[in-house]
Chain A
Amino acid sequence: MTMARQSKYVTYLRGSREGLWQTLKQPEFASAYAAGCLGNGNTDPWAPSAGEVHEIDYPRLLVLSCRDQSSRAIFEMEEDGDTVQVTVTHEFARERPPVEARCHDWPNVLSSLKSYLETGHAGVRHA
């Protein structure tokens, strides 16, 4: 699938890739990035029926697709000591994606994820 447009967000967090992976699978985070970023409503992208987990190379690479294939989010995780660099690249099939599918929410989701891994509390999300 050729993608017309992409956005990228990078963050660094203290922890391991395995710990990050487990957190990504937790329903509160899964529904947050599915709803806020992939435009999939409250669907859990890890649920067997959803078919949205597109590609996995544990614990380095995860690709999640929107159900209608109009966008996909690529998580790349690199470890350096006890820091993990997370790069989320969100690709869109169309140059002008529908407003609800444009991702304005990755900074919020990833800030919350970083807080959760480092402090045990995700914080209150505004969305």
Chain B
Amino acid sequence: MSDRFVYVTYIRTTPQKLWDALLKPEFQRAYWFGVHQESEWKKGASWKMVFPDGRVADTGEVLEIDPPRHLVLKWRNEFRPELKVEGYSRCTYDLETVADTVKLTITHEIDKTASQFIVAVSGGWPKVLSSLKSFLETGNALPETQKYPAKA
């Protein structure tokens, strides 16, 4: 049994632009609460997400990569002990051209039930991906996502 969160959005852009916005730190910081990711983006490479102050948020590994269409990450939370203890999740990015948009599907799953990690990412992904869509279509991310929340 596993828990899973699936989110679909359609973004008016090209697969390559969306791929770059998803993977390149200078774009990530603009719409992802100021955090960025570090990886060599090849199969087997390590992967981590880093807060603006340098703390590590999440770590993992690139399991599959086929630019600009498909990416699978092994992904574990590192900054909330109750989430870290759940171990590794798997996050799949799929990009597909549909008319003049790119359909982006994020599937985030973990091999356990009643996962607090999946609850947490279920709240985060809609904000991040809504902001990414605004960023690519209008040039501006949503205000709330442009920097890390002061209280956190």
Question: Judging by beta carbons under 8 Å apart, are A114 and B130 in contact?
Answer: yes
Nearest residue, chain B, Cβ from A82: B143
Q: Assess whether B131 is interfacial by the CB under 8 Å rule.
A: yes
What 1/0 flags go to A85-124 for Cβ under 8 Å of B? 0000000000000000000000110011011001101011
Question: Judging by beta carbons under 8 Å apart, are B101 and A14 in contact?
Answer: no
Q: Assess whether B8 is interfacial by the CB under 8 Å rule.
A: yes
A10, A80, A118: which contacts B137 (Cβ < 8 A)? A118
Q: Assess whether B12 is interfacial by the CB under 8 Å rule.
A: yes
Question: Judging by beta carbons under 8 Å apart, are A108 and B143 in contact?
Answer: no
Question: Judging by beta carbons under 8 Å apart, are A12 and B130 in contact?
Answer: yes
Question: Judging by beta carbons under 8 Å apart, are A81 and B127 in contact?
Answer: no
Chain A residues whose CB sits within 8 angstroms of the CB of B134 once the complex forms:
13-14, 114, 118
Question: Judging by beta carbons under 8 Å apart, are A115 and B131 in contact?
Answer: no
Expressed in whole angstroms, the Cα–Cα distance for A100 and B74 within the complex equals 35
Chain B residues whose CB sits within 8 angstroms of the CB of A115 once the complex forms:
12, 133, 137
Question: Judging by beta carbons under 8 Å apart, are B126 and A125 in contact?
Answer: no
Chain A residues whose CB sits within 8 angstroms of the CB of B101 once the complex forms:
111, 123-124, 126
Expressed in whole angstroms, the Cα–Cα distance for A22 and B142 within the complex equals 21
Question: Judging by beta carbons under 8 Å apart, are B9 and A107 in contact?
Answer: yes
Chain B residues whose CB sits within 8 angstroms of the CB of A108 once the complex forms:
8, 10
What 1/0 flags go to B77-92 for Cβ under 8 Å of A? 0000000000000000
Question: Judging by beta carbons under 8 Å apart, are A119 and B99 in contact?
Answer: no
Interface residues of A (CB under 8 A from B): 10-14, 80-83, 107-108, 111-112, 114-115, 118-119, 121, 123-126
What are 28 contact pairs spanning A and B, CB under 8 A? A10-B126, A11-B9, A11-B130, A12-B126, A12-B131, A13-B130, A14-B138, A14-B140, A14-B143, A80-B144, A82-B143, A107-B8, A108-B8, A111-B9, A111-B10, A111-B11, A111-B101, A111-B133, A112-B10, A115-B133, A115-B137, A118-B134, A118-B138, A119-B138, A123-B12, A124-B100, A124-B101, A125-B99
Given contacts A12-B142, A108-B8, A108-B10, 4 further A-B contacts (CB under 8 A): A111-B9, A119-B137, A126-B98, A126-B99
